[in-house]
Chain A
């Protein structure tokens, strides 16, 4: 595929991935988020971070299974969207839940295991986002960069626990995500083993 087409495609994907955030802002400003808009924003931003994590982890299996090598060109963007929605989710937490009172927030992170889990996930995303540029990749060297970015295989574990410990009942959706992540990660193990 031509470089021009790829750049255009990237632009399209970039805008499409932004749509959930735009809709959320639009609906917040027009008071269309229901009786508890603050909760809705927190839930939606978290859910979208989760969905983009699934997409990011799906790139390699899809590439290998179907030979869609072009997908690799979008992996970084999808990964950065995980971080983008996680940032919004974290912002919602410190703003809506604690109104920027840092000591209260820190207490919550320490005392409430489900928040601890979410916070750990967020912290682990940070170095990945920060080292996502070509420049950083070069600076770290391919091997070290790759080692660092294996963190992405650990993050789903913390994210799923964060989700699970927050729920009161009805574990259907968290079950589905657990299954999807398991398939995506186990496929990698299997692929490595069978291609040795």
Chain B
């Protein structure tokens, strides 16, 4: 597969002019949102086109589409960027878009620890390599039974992890979101055990479907979607795809994620999309595709491994998936 190389300028070196120009609009809307929210109603339309259109000439517009692409209707940019579970910026789906507007994503350091030859502090810029970048159009299935189809921009996680030279004891990879309550107001309350933590088995992490995301819709990744760097594991429930990653740790033992700590009987380590294993409180057999399954269509059937069984089912052969949920 060919990856087009647009130029020698690193994406990170370009100022996102559109975001800059929209700054005042963001602030204005953040004010409006706060006013409406405090009025208690949340009934007035808070959406506005201005802040939810991407730059058609986004910094990743020339990145070629990679393999595993799904041939399904894309969820609109507006929906992808205004309906977010990102509890660090509020537990209401519409909140992160406003409350993360001022989140500082540069400079961004990633701490690498544990069972590897090259631990240390890395700069985000070390990984924004033009020849790594691909567009991947993936299904995204939330544990809350809604789904999207998103054109992510990113690179295979294995390319990044190999640079740290994990040793033979590295059986798992643990990820942590930035912990900074000053910037992430949601962390001021113990909604979850902060910092948000997730983990993958090393073979899951090295799988070519697993990517690190830095953009979407050919543009830079919006803060509410987990800027500047987030995971995307398309065959697992959305909460596994941790946002705003600040730490990567190679471990011998399976990491315990924030959701596992919060409700061990409800969220397991694997959390593979599985229509046959219900969440203890609701069914996972069907899902609502945002922008498509609305008032006049039934929820669609959820696919095993979110439709990526051909690629990943072998990772779990011989395992009882109702036990290892």
Q: Report which A residues bind B (CB closer than 8 A).
A: 20, 23-24, 27-28, 30, 32-39, 44, 95-97, 99, 108, 112-114, 165-166, 168-170, 172
Contact = CB atoms under 8 A, between A and B. Distances in A.
Contacts, number: 70
A159 B255 CA distance: 37
Nearest to A169: B191
Nearest to A20: B43
Given A112-B281, A169-B91, A170-B91, A32 B294 contact: no
Interface in B42-94: 42-47, 75, 78-79, 82-83, 87, 91, 93-94
B80 to A, nearest CB: 8
B146 A39 contact: yes
Given A34-B47, A165-B281, A170-B189, 20 more contacts: A27-B44, A28-B295, A30-B45, A35-B75, A35-B78, A35-B79, A35-B82, A35-B83, A35-B93, A35-B290, A36-B288, A38-B294, A38-B295, A39-B288, A96-B295, A108-B283, A114-B281, A168-B262, A168-B263, A170-B87
B222 to A, nearest CB: 14
B93 A99 contact: no
Interface residues of B: mostly helix, strand, loop or mixed?
loop
A35 B191 contact: no
Given A35-B79, A170-B87, A172-B189, A23 B294 contact: no
Nearest to B286: A97
Contact of B294 (A37, A114, A168, A172): A37
B189 A35 contact: no
14 contacts: A23-B41, A33-B45, A34-B46, A34-B82, A37-B294, A95-B295, A99-B299, A108-B283, A112-B282, A168-B144, A168-B262, A168-B263, A169-B262, A172-B189
By size class, the interface of chain B is 20 to 34
B295 A37 contact: yes
B43 A27 contact: yes
Contacts of A114: 281-282
